[in-house]
Amino acid sequence: MLQLGRNPTRTVLVGVSMAIAFLLLVLLRSIAGVFSVEAGRSDTVIYVSSKYPSTVMLKLAQVQQVRSVEGVIGASPVIYLYGFYQEPKLSFSQLGIDPLSYFSISGEAVDQTLIDRLVSTRTGAVISRALADEHGWRVGDKIPIQSTWWLKEDKSYIWEFDIVGVFSSAKEEQETPPILFFNYEYFQEAAAFAKGSLSAILARVESPNLVETAIETIDSNFANSSAPTNSNTREILSRESYRQIGDIGTITNAIIIAVFFTVLIVSAHAAAQSLRDRRMEFAVMKTFGFTNELIAGIVLAESIAFCLVAAIVGIGAALVLEPVFNEGLKDVTGRFDMSLSSIVTTFGTATATGFCIAIIPVFSIYRTSISDALRSV
């Protein structure tokens, strides 16, 4: 397609544009992959919520029924307090839990000592480092949280908690968001109504291969009950909120198509210009006995090789930038990794792009005679 030394500026510009295109291809394909249902099934933690959360709450008795499902190795009750500290804009997550079962399922890096303190302190609470830093809270502080929903038996909406511990994420590069955990038993004793109600049930499945079956079994078991459920993995539920703006996979694929169509047009123009520059060269090659097929093969090989080199550069850049993208998008996609299939797809696309770019020049070689080529120079 291009004789690299003939016009180095054009070669570099086209090469860089194509490398960037392949960089976007491999990154966007990887990001789109994590929004698929199959990607979310790699998580073994299932979030069981009410099918009609605005009107129907789950029941405490359902926890044991979830535990009895084949493949489920643990289940824990969860209640949301729906509260804020001092003023509504200072809201954060407050979860009433059974500490012993919840932390063994959820994966939060809470030390066993903190769990024991929480269990032994009726009004105790453990908070994330982010929440402690945001408000300057320390162990021993008594924190009043005003619930917007749950009334206590003393006719107050103020729930007081004694901080017994502060925990941090197990991964230094991933900060746990502001969150407070308190004893579900405290809620059971103090709530003025709806005792035994749950916002959700957190369950862990033995293997990712059993997740789909467990979800179907749980939802079917409660389908005709007074509290039907809607279950899914935490990864999928987290990504569903971002899907509300549209189908992320379709959006990323549309971006990829637009980028490559643009690159294809620019590269085809560069190829046509290169062909005009090399008409004399092709004419001389024909006079020395080079067949149209051989010259066309050389042009095609140049085009494909150039695209493959650009793809290698783009994939290399994507591997370097992967940690940066993971950090920036962790709250949206969770962690994503560039799979072998994405890399293979990129190389396949590079080959196809090189072939498409070379089509017009190849046809021109067949149509142009030696005399026409020499006459046009």
Give the residue-averaged pLDDT of 246-262.
69
Span of 43-47, 194-198, 221-225 with lowest mean pLDDT: 43-47
Q: Examine the domain organization and report whether 264 and 329 are in the same domain.
A: yes
Q: Examine the domain organization and report whether 91 and 119 are in the same domain.
A: yes
Span of 3-12, 71-80, 309-318 with lowest mean pLDDT: 3-12
Query: At a CB cut-off of 8 Å and minimum separation 6, what does 302 contact?
Result: 1, 2, 358
Q: Examine the domain organization and report whether 310 and 174 are in the same domain.
A: no
In a domain? residue 336: yes
Confidence of residue 198 (pLDDT cuts 50, 70, 90): very high
Range of the domain at 73: 57-227
Q: How high is the pLDDT of residue 65? A: 95
Q: Examine the domain organization and report whether 123 and 210 are in the same domain.
A: yes
Query: At a CB cut-off of 8 Å and minimum separation 6, what does 52 contact?
Result: 228
Last residue of a domain, one of 195, 227, 259: 227
Task: Answer whether 0.75 is exceeded by the pTM.
Answer: no
Q: Examine the domain organization and report whether 110 and 179 are in the same domain.
A: yes
Q: Examine the domain organization and report whether 209 and 67 are in the same domain.
A: yes
29-55 pLDDT tens trace: 766 655 554 444 457 889 999 989 888
Last residue of a domain, one of 227, 261, 285: 227
Q: How high is the pLDDT of residue 245? A: 47
In a domain? residue 358: yes
Q: Examine the domain organization and report whether 65 and 190 are in the same domain.
A: yes
Q: Examine the domain organization and report whether 260 and 352 are in the same domain.
A: yes
Give the residue-averaged pLDDT of 96-105.
93
Q: How high is the pLDDT of residue 353? A: 82
- Phi first, then psi: give them for residue 217, nearest 5 degrees: -65, -45
Whether the Cβ atoms of residue 47 and residue 202 lie closer than 8 Å to each other = yes
Span of 25-34, 71-80, 142-151, 280-289 with lowest mean pLDDT: 25-34
| Number of domains comprising the chain | 2
Last residue of a domain, one of 227, 256, 289: 227
Q: Examine the domain organization and report whether 26 and 121 are in the same domain.
A: no
In a domain? residue 136: yes
Q: Examine the domain organization and report whether 14 and 92 are in the same domain.
A: no
Q: Examine the domain organization and report whether 318 and 218 are in the same domain.
A: no
Q: Examine the domain organization and report whether 191 and 75 are in the same domain.
A: yes
In a domain? residue 52: no
